[in-house]
Chains A and B, each alone.
Chain A
Amino acid sequence: MLSIRNLHARVGDKPILKGIDLEVNAGEVHAIMGPNGSGKSTLSSVLAGREDYEVTDGEVIYMGQNLLDLEPEERAWAGVFMSFQYPVEIPGVKNIYLLKAAVNAIREHRGLTELKAAEFLKLVREKLKVMQMDEAFLHRNVNEGFSGGEKKRNEILQMQLLEPTLALLDETDSGLDVDALRVVGEGINRMRSPERSVLLVTHYQRLLDIVKPDFVHVLTQGEIKLSGDYRLAERLEREGYEGIEAA
């Protein structure tokens, strides 16, 4: 589904990604772990199409097309979704406007009919329940005044509605308390399916206790230094990144 080959990217003059190779097949969950500044967030931002990053080498093939040639909205239409580490506040735009507009934009590109108001409300209420969110969130401005945990729930709510083929979850566990972590983790688990892949960027093992990844990769200094299965995450938790690097 996703092939990243020799990906190099920089911000300004500073190289961040220095040759990433990664194969993600349909249905797999991959966790990308690594210390601060290793390039984890850059990787998901480059894949989602944030323009602050310049790709200097390499390619990313997603479902047979060159992902880097697509605009951010075209990536979304093609089934890519990024859960933001810092979800953006948009004062003046109601959450429900964004949700409905996004669902129908993506349905249109999948050749599906537009959801009418009643159908959409039924769907969104179902998903709110899963995320244990109050309906009042729909009528608040996008992420404005949301707590850290509410913002992350809102991201996963969007993912549930948009049903992506490839989900990029950028530190979705940061800023969550234990209960919120469980709700968010279970929200992600519900989305696991043989057709859907997840790339989960995280610092810690705790989310991985709920969302068991098929593969774990350690990203340090812009390169994947080590890959393994779930046990690698456990080892990281015990030995730390320094221990792994030294070994």
Chain B
Amino acid sequence: MSGFSEWLTDVNDVQASKALAVGLPTKRVESWKYVPTRGLARTTWQPAVPQTTRQFALTGGQFVNVPTDNGLTVSENTLTGSEQERLDGISQAHGFGLTQAALEDTHLILTVQRAMSVVLNLSHLANQASSAGFAALIIRAEAGAQLTLVEQFESTNVEKANLSSLRCLMTLERDSLVTHIRFQAANTSAHLFSNLNIECCENASYRLQTVEFGSKLARNDIYIALSGREASASVNGLAITNGSQYHDTHLTIDHVVGDTTSEMTFRNMVDGKGEATFNGRVLIRKDSQRSATEQSIANLLLSKNARVNPKPELEIYADDVTASHGCTVGSLSKTELFYLKSRGLSETDARAFLQYAFAEAIVDEIEHPDIRKLVETQLLGELKHGELIAELKDSVDV
């Protein structure tokens, strides 16, 4: 036995039995067809042990040092009927969802009180080798509340495969605003699973800025429902995939009602033997008139062995809609390279300039200045020959 079998057998409840019976998803499950699940199945996963820290962190499937900010209510009481339904929907999608449900320890519920403004910094600590943690976070932004949620991942090296799963439900009540920044530069043995299920009520706005270049495998399932008029969502995402990494984002924005707007911009930059999947779906339902959506997906391939699997999907059933979309796959522009080289930049510097430019378009959208700066610095460290740009930024930026 391997994978989660032993752990699920130990848990021995109804959900665990279901997860055991169904097993991990295989390539036959459409939404998982590119995910390399062999590494998952080969490891005999143990429950991770929480580590000591002073920060608000997710470690070993537990939330520790949960903040008690003004405007924030913390509870571990039961989910609302709608929340339970949404969580069950994720669980029942496939065998991994069932495993998540069976092995989750905690449901932390955070409520940002009406018209209050809160900043939350959540650190994801690396789990030990061959160990895994599963958790769920429920966020309720009350009417007019403002939340900035910043997630960062510890990058300390772990020798063997380690895993962390977080399912996050957010409900944005009317007029609330959530700015969600995710910066994932986790250790290169990490297997990270993230489910985001967002519901935006009337005039609520959800803004996600995500940059990902760590981990061995990362799978993000994001579902955003615009279920109140004038609700809006924007997603700006960048994944840099190198070596033998695999990054996968499945994103759906659902215009449940009319007069809603969405924007989806995602960029993949893939080098080495990396593989990246981006499935971006926008659904505008039959009665969701006067909705507007913009979708832009760009993929940059930097090596012969790099792979991308982009899949833009626009499903529009209403007739009074503004929609634009674009999806490109390519390598660095020869014309741009020639221009830079004709000015005396070496091939490597010219390539670094253009890679930086490709990534910077997303990084520049990060609305938190300190995090944006941190991401820029780490991004330059990640790029081959990023030093020249780092030095230029230091010397001439005002």
What residues make up the interface of A, taking CB atoms closer than 8 Å to B? 48-51, 71-73, 75-77, 81-82, 84, 87-88, 90-93, 96-98, 100-102, 105-106, 109, 116-117, 120-121, 138-139, 141, 158, 162
A76 to B338, CA, bound (A): 11
Contact mask B316-347 → A, CB, 8 Å, 1/0? Answer: 00000000000000000011101111111111
Asked whether B342 lies within 8 Å of A100 as measured between CB atoms, the reply is: no
Query: When the two chains form the complex, which single residue of B338, B354, B357 contacts A50, counting CB atoms closer than 8 Å?
Result: B338
Query: When the two chains form the complex, which single residue of A82, A100, A162 contacts B392, counting CB atoms closer than 8 Å?
Result: A100
Chain A residues within an 8 Å CB radius of B347: 71, 73
Q: Given A72-B338, A72-B341: A101 and B396 within 8 A (CB)?
A: no
B349 at the interface (CB under 8 A from A): yes
Which chain B residue has the least Cβ–Cβ distance from A138? Answer: B396
3 shortest interchain CB distances as A-B pairs: A92-B357, A117-B395, A76-B344
Asked whether B342 lies within 8 Å of A121 as measured between CB atoms, the reply is: no
Chain A residues within an 8 Å CB radius of B360: 92
Q: Shortest beta-carbon distance, B340 to chain A, in Å?
A: 7
New contact pairs (10) apart from A76-B344, A92-B357, CB-CB < 8 Å: A72-B338, A72-B341, A75-B342, A84-B342, A88-B339, A90-B336, A100-B395, A101-B345, A106-B344, A116-B395
Q: Shortest beta-carbon distance, B47 to chain A, in Å?
A: 44
Q: Shortest beta-carbon distance, B335 to chain A, in Å?
A: 6
A77 to B347, CA, bound (A): 13
Q: Which residue, of B388, B389, B395, has the highest number of chain A Cβ atoms within 10 A?
A: B395
Asked whether A102 lies within 8 Å of B334 as measured between CB atoms, the reply is: no
A120 to B291, CA, bound (A): 50
Chain A residues within an 8 Å CB radius of B334: 51
Q: Which residue, of A49, A105, A116, A141, has the highest number of chain B Cβ atoms within 10 A?
A: A105
A188 to B380, CA, bound (A): 37
B358 at the interface (CB under 8 A from A): yes
Chain B residues within an 8 Å CB radius of A106: 344
Query: When the two chains form the complex, which single residue of B336, B340, B344, B392 contacts A77, counting CB atoms closer than 8 Å?
Result: B344
A50 to B354, CA, bound (A): 18
The A-B contact count (CB < 8 A) is 94
Query: When the two chains form the complex, which single residue of B335, B392, B398 contacts A101, counting CB atoms closer than 8 Å?
Result: B392
Asked whether B361 lies within 8 Å of A92 as measured between CB atoms, the reply is: yes
Q: Given A73-B347, A77-B344, A90-B357: A101 and B338 within 8 A (CB)?
A: no
Query: When the two chains form the complex, which single residue of A91, A96, A101 contacts B388, counting CB atoms closer than 8 Å?
Result: A101
A210 to B339, CA, bound (A): 27
Asked whether B339 lies within 8 Å of A73 as measured between CB atoms, the reply is: no
Contact mask B266-279 → A, CB, 8 Å, 1/0? Answer: 00000000000000
A158 to B342, CA, bound (A): 11
Asked whether A92 lies within 8 Å of B356 as measured between CB atoms, the reply is: yes
Asked whether A97 lies within 8 Å of B396 as measured between CB atoms, the reply is: yes
B213 at the interface (CB under 8 A from A): no
Chain A residues within an 8 Å CB radius of B349: 101, 105
Chain A residues within an 8 Å CB radius of B398: 139
A50 to B338, CA, bound (A): 7
Chain B residues within an 8 Å CB radius of A75: 342
A90 to B360, CA, bound (A): 12
A71 to B349, CA, bound (A): 14
A91 to B356, CA, bound (A): 10
Asked whether A105 lies within 8 Å of B344 as measured between CB atoms, the reply is: yes
Q: Which residue, of A77, A87, A88, has the highest number of chain B Cβ atoms within 10 A?
A: A88
A90 to B389, CA, bound (A): 15
B246 at the interface (CB under 8 A from A): no
Which chain B residue has the least Cβ–Cβ distance from A118? Answer: B395
Chain B residues within an 8 Å CB radius of A120: 395-396
A224 to B360, CA, bound (A): 46
A93 to B355, CA, bound (A): 10
Which chain B residue has the least Cβ–Cβ distance from A77? Answer: B344
Which chain B residue has the least Cβ–Cβ distance from A105? Answer: B344
Chain A residues within an 8 Å CB radius of B361: 91-92
Chain A residues within an 8 Å CB radius of B340: 90, 98
Which chain A residue has the least Cβ–Cβ distance from B359? Answer: A92
Q: Shortest beta-carbon distance, B356 to chain A, in Å?
A: 7
Asked whether B354 lies within 8 Å of A48 as measured between CB atoms, the reply is: no
Chain B residues within an 8 Å CB radius of A87: 339
Asked whether A73 lies within 8 Å of B396 as measured between CB atoms, the reply is: no
Q: Given A96-B396, A100-B396, A105-B349: A48 and B342 within 8 A (CB)?
A: yes
